Amino acid sequence: MFWMTFAEQPNCTNMAYSESRAYAELHLAVFLWGFTAILGDIIPLNAVTLVWWRVMLTSLSLFAFVRVGRIMQELGRKQVLIFAGLGCIVALHWVTFYGAIKLANASVGLICMATTSLFSSIVEPWITGRKFLWYELLLGAFILPGIWLIVDGVDASMTPGILVGLLSALLVAIFSSFNKRYVEKADPLRITFIELSAGTLFLTPLLPFMPGRFWPPTPMDWLWLIVLAILCTTFTNFLFLRVLKKLSAFAANLTINLEPVYGIALAYFLLNDAEELDPNFYWGTAVILVAVFGYAGLKRYFRHRAEVLSRKALL
């Protein structure tokens, strides 16, 4: 079904593609991203090797849907290089994300991603040139107590994992903001293909220096790698890039704060070493949910207020 979605390439300016549909697709993508932490925990590869397989298989899955020979001609060298650079950033984001999981655990790695909105509220206005909104920074900061409640009591040995996870959140905020700036320059599939192909080339020279096995993956590894590449990367990246044409990068990144909620819930049910969810987890989750869904309400309020003031100014 989703291959039909790829092939059809609906225009996001079409009225049929509503904001509510964009939010629904964004939540589906975020849920699947939450599942990637589970896969990162169960696939026995180091972070760099795991991400290399992910970006390589994803690039191959897109090859049939992208006219590769015409990319440079139609986009120009500058745009191709910009998207290639963004591909290196997203590859580093995934390496640090899985690095956080390997250094700590899936729950800690996911929790760190909830700081993405805080970083996004700072970097998106600078990167995209849009007006700085004080309530975005306020909502982003509001996430922090929720993170503290969830992380409270984590063993000190997991501190390196937390620091690497925070770096991963900063990288994805930068990546999303630049994608928002340049997403109109090409269709989502072509952007994803360029970015992940560049990510593959970027990581390839590092593979000989990585510990552990690289080839061949076991049959079970192949299964999980294909799920990670096709469903959790190809499909979700297409949805996310399409959503960015309708929503702001901050709104998208704020919703991504649900990734740890989805991921930790999945870890509880699917992993043998499922994390214990104490009352602090639920309080922290509640804080994150208030911020995520409160953003839409605040946005509507300030938009309505601006419209009222504009009408009064015309009178």
Q: What is the pLDDT of residues 121-149, one digit of tens each?
A: 889 888 888 888 887 778 778 888 888 88
Q: Evaluate if residue 216 carries a pLDDT over 90.
A: no
Structural domain for 199, as ranges: 20-314
In a domain, 159, yes or no: yes
In a domain, 5, yes or no: no
Q: Evaluate if residue 52 carries a pLDDT over 90.
A: yes
pLDDT at 164: 96
Give 203's pLDDT tier (boundaries 50, 70, 90). very high
Q: Evaluate if residue 12 carries a pLDDT over 70.
A: no
pLDDT at 195: 92
Q: Which pLDDT tens digit goes with each residue over 80-123?
A: 999 999 999 999 999 999 999 999 888 888 888 878 878 888 89
In a domain, 8, yes or no: no
In a domain, 298, yes or no: yes
Number of independent structural domains in the chain: 1
Q: Which residue has the higher pLDDT, 134 or 220?
A: 220
The CA-atom distances, in angstroms, between 88 and each of 73, 76, 144, 221, 255 are 22, 19, 28, 24, 24
In a domain, 272, yes or no: yes
In a domain, 14, yes or no: no
In a domain, 9, yes or no: no
**Alpha helices (H) along the chain:** 2-8, 19-42, 47-62, 71-75, 77-103, 106-112, 116-128, 134-151, 159-182, 188-203, 219-226, 236-243, 249-255, 258-270, 279-314
pLDDT at 153: 66
In a domain, 90, yes or no: yes
